[in-house]
Amino acid sequence: MNRPFNMPDEFVDGFMKAGASLWRSLGGTANGERDDAAVSSPLGASGRIAELQADYLKGLYQLSEHIIKSAAGGQSEGGIETPRGDRRFNGADWRENSLYSILKQYYLLNSRYCVDFVEALDLDEKEKHRLRFFTRQLVEAMSPTNFVATNPDAIKMATDSEGQSLKAGLDNLMADLGRGSLTITDEGAFEVGKDVAASKGAVVFENDLFQLIQYEPATEQVAVRPLLIVPPCINKFYILDLQPANSFVRFAVEHGMTVFVVSWRNPEESCGHFGWDDYVEHGAMRAIEITRSISGADKVNAVGWCVGGTILSSALAILRTRGDESVASVTLLTTMLDFREPGDLGVFVDEESVLQRELTIGKGGIYRGAELGFVFQTLRSKELIWPNVVDHYLKGKPPERFDLLFWNADVTNLPGPMYCWYIRNMYLENNLREPNRLTMCGTSVDLGRVDLPAYVLATVEDHIVPWRSAYRTTGLFGGDTRFVLGASGHIAGVINPASKNKRSYWVSDERCEEPAAWLAGADEKPGSWWNDWIGWLKPQAEEQLPARTQLGSNLYPPGESAPGRYVKAKAG
């Protein structure tokens, strides 16, 4: 079914299931009637709902009293303050105009009540997490800032422009409806290979699944052991090579590393047969083999990010089981291997939704990147959806020029069999953490056999890979693991250039079973984790030798210039 803005079935189904959970918790039955016995069950007996309603009425009374006193010109305490960091109500009218101030405060009071109401319900944690997520979607959607009639900035712009801002906004809306997705950035502002993904290098290998890029050295001496990066296949690799000032690739090259990056193909219908094993064996494992061959080194150092880290870890477990010691160390960036706490993405995953996808694309087909992109936008709707709705549709503004949002909008498809296997075995059944439960590429997988030095980075505000889930990797690998917790979220926490000296990170040499205990004993360090990582990596990279002037090798000669054509392909 085609829906506006590429809304996937999982979102609609999740919303309906959240509503069903709410109805049942309030005494509703499957046939739509109320069960009075259920209403007088422990939910009511606990008194939580009654207390919450009493607090809400008290808040209404205090707010009304505040409004009356303010209207009379008196001084009054008790107005509801905008939560810290909430930029929706930054305009002066929300503070200085009494009507807008009242509207804002009633919205904040009702929002708080909705959120607290969900927390008071007697539901299992999975149901409550889903209801919590979709309640947040509704609460954020109903903000008065999202409507022309209740947004003072939009009204002022319409008045000053004699309605031209509204006309431009309507044009923007119709254009987005026509293309089927919300515009979040100026998609013509950057060119891949020129403005972003511009580091010098060449494609030294390709197959139907990926191109392998080798980058030119930036130092006279380079480490003996090269660095191979396996990015997620659900996004394009150039998040690691946006622009010179924030390029992780450039940082590694400038610190004497010979860098190789996997550039996954953006699959079309002809690739709809690829499975998880293909990404592990013909992707990560093949890239390791070629990187080692070209460099002539005894071993390589490997980095994996997000699902790229899951693919890489699977490959390493297979290689170690087979007696292959061609990898010296592994770095995992915001990667989940234990999926017991999958974060907000978990609200879209249950047996019914996974089975539906398996029936439609599990044997062949494509999971469209636009649908996956919509899901990721909902995880941060307050930042990625509603500000764009306000700016583009209510105010008629053109989209902003921002490299990270440009990358975010450059979505990729996924092969159906690969996606379905991943969702079932990782998110639904959490099989990877169990030794030998999974067989990949004909080999039983045990992460405990990955007895390499490991650097595991998580970020404290990550909404895709909760840092506590990433921390559990320390109990799965068999080697010495350094866990580092960076500030910010899934993307900004990783792409935190050392040169800007922003944010901070936490480190500790103590190994604790519980993540909270580790954090309690960790030390906070100012600046970027990049500096900590490069210091950890250099001993794994061995001594240095003169940098080669030629990329590739006789067996794998350089082909097209970086970033190659795979990364430039758009999702259909």
Residues involved in catalysis: 306
Is the dihedral angle over the CA atoms 271, 273, 276, 280 positive or is it negative? Answer: negative
Q: Residue 467, by phi and psi: left (phi above 0), alpha (psi -120 to 50) or beta?
A: alpha
| Cα–Cα distance, 418 to 242 (Å, whole number) | 27
Cβ distance 316 to 228 under 8 Å?
A: no
Say whether 254 sits in a helix, a strand or coil: helix
Please work out, in degrees rounded to the nearest 5, the angle formed at the alpha carbon of residue 323 by the alpha carbons of 319 and 328.
65
Query: CA–CA distance from 35 to each of 32, 40, 237 (Å)?
Result: 10, 9, 53
| Cα–Cα distance, 565 to 461 (Å, whole number) | 34
| Cα–Cα distance, 152 to 372 (Å, whole number) | 34
Around Cβ 421, how many Cβ atoms within 10 Å?
19
Cβ distance 431 to 438 under 8 Å?
A: yes
| Cα–Cα distance, 248 to 507 (Å, whole number) | 21
| Cα–Cα distance, 447 to 479 (Å, whole number) | 10
Cβ distance 531 to 176 under 8 Å?
A: no
| Cα–Cα distance, 177 to 6 (Å, whole number) | 10
Cβ distance 530 to 499 under 8 Å?
A: no
Q: What is the secondary structure of 510-566 as a DSSP string?
A: ---SSHHHHHHTPEEEES-HHHHHHHHHGGGG-SEEEPPSS-S-SSS---SBTT-SG
End-to-end C-alpha distance for the chain, whole angstroms: 17
Burial 97-117 (b: 16+ CB within 10 A, else e): eeebbbbbbbbbbebbbeeeb
Cβ distance 529 to 523 under 8 Å?
A: no
Quick one: which H or E segment has residue 172?
helix 164-179
The phi, psi pair for 261, rounded to 5°, reads -130, 135
- The two most distant CA atoms of the chain are separated, in Å, by 86
Cβ distance 182 to 168 under 8 Å?
A: no
Token couple for 241 = 């090579």
The residues, ordered by sequence, that sit 6+ positions from 142 with a Cβ below 8 Å of its Cβ are 107
